[in-house]
Structure 1
Amino acid sequence: MDVVCLGDADTHAMGQLGLLEELTPEKVPNLAKVIPALRLPFTLPHIYSVRTILTNPARIQLAPARYADLFEERFRNRIGFSDLLFTHMTEAAAIAAGGDERNHQPGYAKLLEWKRLGARVYPSNEALAAALKSEEVSATIMWLGRAYMWKKAGIPVQAVIPAEGPRPISPAPACRGMRATRRRPSPISMRCSTPAPRWASPSGWASCRPPTRRCPPPCRPRSA
């Protein structure tokens, strides 16, 4: 396997294990065209967005303004999450409890609060979307770009950037395995020979051509 698609946490873990090849301008000529804040040494993100609170405005009249609001009694049996985003839900809970993206420890007790409130966990983002559409749940935490796509698809959601501030995400970066012995042209290099970047605005997703992300070594370890 030459290229894999991973989330941030998995990319960090594989980078620490030395399983990913560092990308350089020689390997990816258009590396310089990538937004500096998105650059990591091993990954090439193709999109980015920010984390938001989503609610069904017909079911939740007063939209939550911050992560801490999602632990109120009025959300009992009305909030759901995608299991794929468990690290991000832990981080949101930690922020609500006074932690931050580098300290998830305060979030574990808050996660149990969600459990006691009857929070539902779905196996994928698509399953969560179906639950929002059927009104099985009326609130969640999700990326602004996906909220835009869901709303365009007829799912009744509105997005609020929490008062604690927007947290960025650059999901599914493409990574090239350093253990490969074959030396044919990299698919990433070929993809990155396309013209200058193009940015999408209303959706909250930014589609980067060529996609690239450099991460300063060593990556900071997460607390969770």
Structure 2
Amino acid sequence: MSEAEDFWERRWREMAPPRALRPSPVMVSFVAELEAGRALDLGCARGDDAIWLATRGWRVTAVDIATSALVAARARSEGLAIDYQQHDLGESFPEGEFDLVSAQYLQSPVAFPRARVLQRAARAVARGGLLLVVEHASHRPWGHKPEHDVVFPPAEELAVEIGVEPAEWCTVFLGRREREAKGPNGEIALVADNIVAFRRTI
């Protein structure tokens, strides 16, 4: 088991069972009005986004590195059209092209080739499809306090890392948004996200 797999396996195993479905509000805001098609959910955790998509007609491939997360996700989504796959995305990647590729908060405290994974994610977007990458742009007050100051690169830098070519994509949204978020014990705080949303044109 790799360091990354061990870290995320322990994290999901130690977390309390999921309660109500809590899909990413950013993902929902960009996808709610889209026509359903093929979706790839990278880092699906316990299935909140994948389940939300599947209940709206999307054919979903949902990926995570941790067995515990995938077991929980499958238990919550019986009967839905979700293909759960276990991947260490630094080593392997799902096959196929997708009308939506969603990567929500793939930041990691352990070694992870994020830029290379997101470049591969962009290549998986079909013509006319949407690439949606969302990352934390501020600390969550209920999260672990970092040992050192953490810099959150702006969305524009993230887009450069992904290597999106202007001739092949149009910008849907590129920048930072603030939103109200709820913590695990009901805490409310204003947090920020960096968002990269591009539609493939060719």
Fold equivalence (TM over 0.5): no
Higher normalized contact order (CA 8 Å, seq sep 6+, divided by chain length): 1
- If you compute each CA radius of gyration, which structure gives the higher value, 1 or 2? 1
User: Greater share of strand residues, 1 or 2?
Assistant: 2
TM-score using structure 2 length: 0.33
